[in-house]
Structure 1
């Protein structure tokens, strides 16, 4: 399968990531961005390799920033070959090789800053987490270049870990507090066919949650504040994974665990893992997910709390958690074709994930709130994690390179193939080539998605092919219609689990038209989400919209939408580089308020124009208020 994007929405963002973001992030890793928080990540490697003297600087998991950057750069080389960038990666790999210890161990913090603490802090030491990201990067770089140096280094590292950790009596029976190595080992297994790596991944997943937990004896357990938010459930270690039916703890850790469980379910044919994941999926998406696809409502512990606890202004919704949800959703689609996974994957990509990066690709949100009042945010202690403007870098910089790696690998998320069935999950203009029973099938997709729901798919074949082409019917579309060579299909007869499955003998120049009509909709939330009582959100196709002060003036909470308010969608090339905006009429309270704090009710609202922009684009103009949920009456 080979997918080449050439659409007007995603391809410019991917190209920008390659041309601007990856070079920018390399400078950040080398502390060359003026006004940004220092990284010192490359300097740490030089110190570890003995090429510089000095102290380790940064987070205990600083190595993972470099690993994710390499992974992003490696993905970019697949569709944008760049000998200069490849040379930079080779130099970093050589530096890592010199920093790697004789036994295969590679970690700058526990080599330079705390060598006596190696394999002591599994709760928060992130050793296996960093190892996992290095393994993912090595696999990606090998796939892009066929160069084995980095891959061989990481196989040495995995072999060393396998020698010291595992179920055998002479090994440490432990796992990492922050999941990541589990899914990385499956990738390493797939590329090397070394079964030991798959077995080690399975051990890490199977061991998690067994009681009594070794984590309680770990010196780092309960950090950083020794309160109930950092107990076993924070690490998804409160129950064995198959007995976990609710999403608990640190949101990113949970997403990486569920992704690894899905990988193992597929690799091992383990239906018990798949069934556990179905229950977890339902819980996450029906009770603990924001309308943007954001996860993790509480800043303290970066975690889930209780069902329907989805505050807007204090929402944490870390960018990495959204990326983790995309990873999990795609893996579920590889287990079973069901539009509930594709729908959420699309929701996150267009909203909760994309909001994490500025339009120029060089400024970032770690936290993605759904309501912002800059003056309030500045003073409230419980909102200190909320930033009203994107920043050039973070001391904890997990999100920026994570964004880069998902954007440069985005082409891999559009399709899956199972034998003679080709499934299209996401929509964008692309040219995609498949091998179906030894015959070449090329799909030429043209669309203005997500601004328009008309999608044309033309087939290019050397000879006729009998197969099934399966298309996700988006849940937001109320009147879907599909035609093949002008003939309208009966969707009720061919749609299974949200996918229209068209099985026939396909000929060269056959044409499929997907008509997914888009309309501005008012969305309400479950009444149990107390913060959204009496409020609605605006949605157009897969896009969630918000109000910004730049378009509507201050005091956005004063705006109210009448129950019969209608919004019109229109493309505006003069706003935020060209977007579809939603325009309509709302109400504001009468302007006669003076200094009084309270008064008897006066029903003299005035009509005002309201303009909404996609949530993912907010914060790219002057600082100001923003809200997704709007009062309604």
Structure 2
């Protein structure tokens, strides 16, 4: 891996050195591997009955000259295939599968066949607009699409060791590097949808080619500078957009693209939410690799605004469906919010990069919140249905009858014409091992409590740790030193090699290093043991650090407070005035019509009501919350009345938000009225 500006940076472990064995997360990991990846391949080939067509594979076949036809879908349709290949690369890293690898290799050959002699790859411009390449960066996602190709290629290279896809990616990156930059004869352009920037950093990490890092830096630094490239390009086109052909626009909103001012001067999260967090991720990457304190300061400002003033309780972002965007501080409506699944995935990317820069619990808290709630809510238990939008409140009749709520779905969909979210979920969950730990030469940080075995070089020795976790249902997790031996060939993400032999046993060597366990902000009473005896480690920045000479069999355990708790909003968050949400451990809970009847808006929860964890009749492996509540009912024959409603006691049941919508369609609400 290339040298980092900070020798103390804590990096994620190689996926091949992290093996997940967890009663909760194995369900998702296996679902992605055995169901989601095969299902999405069928969707990419337009073989899922009654689902919106993907066009992706067919577009590549046309671009490669294997069949005739017209381009189908959006400008960025290629990215569905690239993200699928990225998920496959991660999956193959942990679970080699010759049949899947063969299918992926054939898809990669299809992409290579569509690549032009100068390295350019984009089926929309190859098939539909061959003369218009690089003329509309504002709207047409050319660099965005290139970025996803590069990410897919890097993942596939790490997962298989094969160079074919990586070579395609390098040729494309070289083409962009030749066309764009600060030098005479180059275009000073950048994409309207960020993605290439973070992908170029990954390509730099995989190849060691510094020019890819510098191209990413140019793209970030040029954004929002005057004269504004995107505005000038728009003027040159006659102020028209392919999103609205024939209409001359009066203005173009650069804040939507986070190009309204240089990135170092930006202070609030604004514009399209996915674009924003992809850009923030790249900024954090560059701050890490270049030791750039100014970029880090900008990242911290934007993180603070986004998570403290513009994030939902389930870790979702982007409050309006108009542009899938942020609006302004504390504007977080529950019944019309957008909260795109991709945006929470991008938030997780950003959080992990911030953890690499400075391991602070606040970043991992948000990463955990988004992962356990929004991201996993985006996929059904069968692996074949998906949410694009993740609302806080659903009234199915309003979703059908109110044009302002058509984007809010009461049931997950088989596929989408704009299907960015389903393969995004697949690539995140198949790379889950990247998010559990980070490490440097003498400290291993455990950010997520997910049962797993991890091998890494610590204190000059190769150490294997075994984590056992009861989350999200029980608050116990323990880390046992399983083996210590000579340093093998496993390193940080970005390196290529195999896991070396690790020697254990009674005569194994000792190793001195630090284990740092995150203390979640939701755990109000946390305790620790070392080899079964109480211990009080140093707790700073949200991590409990224990430094000692470790030997095989040593166990460092954490006990977390799983008492259900009420969550209240800031007084300026008007949508939640007088309302309360419920959380237990990392899980936010929601009320469904299936358990409580309709309308949910008539329910209220007395402040004194106890929150009781109870087993579920639906699934034996989950914990529900039960409580004594009230239903209000008024006169049924009059829209308005002078008589107050009648209060009737009713038992209320809340289920984890991530699991809502997996039974009968109906109403759902996260926030419930609280009464004294």
TM-score by length of 2: 0.91
Q: What is the rounded CA distance, in whole Å, between the counterparts of 2:168 and 2:636 in structure 1?
A: 70
Q: What is the rounded CA distance, in whole Å, between the counterparts of 1:21 and 1:222 in structure 2?
A: 39
Name 2:45's counterpart in structure 1: 30
**2:598 equivalent to 1:583:** no
Name 2:499's counterpart in structure 1: none
Residues matched between the structures, number: 629
Name 2:489's counterpart in structure 1: none
In structure 1, which of residues 106, 112, 115 is the aligned counterpart of residue 127 of structure 2? 112
Residue deviations 1:131-190 (CA, integer Å, cap 9, x gap): 000001111111111111111111111111111111112011100010000010011111
Distance 1:577 1:303, change over 3 A: farther
Q: Which moved more, 1:501-510 or 1:277-286?
A: 501-510
Name 1:96's counterpart in structure 2: 111
Q: What is the rounded CA distance, in whole Å, between the counterparts of 2:324 and 2:289 in structure 1?
A: 30
Q: What is the rounded CA distance, in whole Å, between the counterparts of 2:573 and 2:542 in structure 1?
A: 27
Contact kept? 1:576, 1:620, Cα under 8 Å: no
Contact kept? 1:319, 1:353, Cα under 8 Å: yes
**Structure 2 unaligned residues grouped into runs of 5+:** 1-12, 485-507
Name 1:294's counterpart in structure 2: 316
Name 1:613's counterpart in structure 2: 655
Q: Which moved more, 1:595-604 or 1:579-588?
A: 595-604
TM-superposed deviation, 1:629? 0.3
Residue deviations 1:482-512 (CA, integer Å, cap 9, x gap): 1112332335xx1110101111111221111
TM-superposed deviation, 1:522? 1.0
Name 1:193's counterpart in structure 2: 208
Name 1:43's counterpart in structure 2: 58
Residue deviations 1:410-458 (CA, integer Å, cap 9, x gap): 0111000012011000001111112114312221111221111111221
Contact kept? 2:231, 2:252, Cα under 8 Å: no
**2:573 equivalent to 1:529:** yes
In structure 2, which of residues 98, 121, 130 is the aligned counterpart of residue 83 of structure 1? 98
Q: What is the rounded CA distance, in whole Å, between the counterparts of 1:227 and 1:422 in structure 2?
A: 53
TM-superposed deviation, 1:576? 4.3
Q: What is the rounded CA distance, in whole Å, between the counterparts of 2:37 and 2:622 in structure 1?
A: 25
Partner SS state of residue 237, structure 1: coil
Partner SS state of residue 374, structure 2: helix
Name 1:626's counterpart in structure 2: 668
Name 1:327's counterpart in structure 2: 349
Contact kept? 1:319, 1:365, Cα under 8 Å: yes
Distance 1:131 1:602, change over 3 A: same
**2:557 equivalent to 1:513:** yes
Taking only aligned residues, the RMSD between alpha carbons, in angstroms, comes to: 1.4
In structure 1, which of residues 231, 247, 254 is the aligned counterpart of residue 253 of structure 2? 231
Q: Which moved more, 1:333-342 or 1:146-155?
A: 146-155
Contact kept? 1:230, 1:301, Cα under 8 Å: no
In structure 1, which of residues 474, 495, 499 is the aligned counterpart of residue 539 of structure 2? 495
Contact kept? 2:567, 2:581, Cα under 8 Å: yes
Contact kept? 2:459, 2:512, Cα under 8 Å: no
Partner SS state of residue 218, structure 1: helix
**2:640 equivalent to 1:594:** no
TM-score by length of 1: 0.97
**2:478 equivalent to 1:463:** no
Q: Which moved more, 1:223-232 or 1:291-300?
A: 223-232
Q: What is the rounded CA distance, in whole Å, between the counterparts of 1:83 and 1:252 in structure 2?
A: 34
Name 2:7's counterpart in structure 1: none
Partner SS state of residue 115, structure 1: coil
Q: What is the rounded CA distance, in whole Å, between the counterparts of 1:44 and 1:617 in structure 2?
A: 35
1:330-479 equivalence runs, <5 A? 330-460=352-482, 461=484, 462-479=508-525
Q: What is the rounded CA distance, in whole Å, between the counterparts of 2:265 and 2:196 in structure 1?
A: 21
Q: What is the rounded CA distance, in whole Å, between the counterparts of 1:367 and 1:227 in structure 2?
A: 28
In structure 2, which of residues 250, 256, 264 is the aligned counterpart of residue 242 of structure 1? 264
Q: What is the rounded CA distance, in whole Å, between the counterparts of 2:308 and 2:251 in structure 1?
A: 22
Distance 1:567 1:229, change over 3 A: farther
Residue deviations 1:565-607 (CA, integer Å, cap 9, x gap): 11111232x32463110001100114x6221122234364111
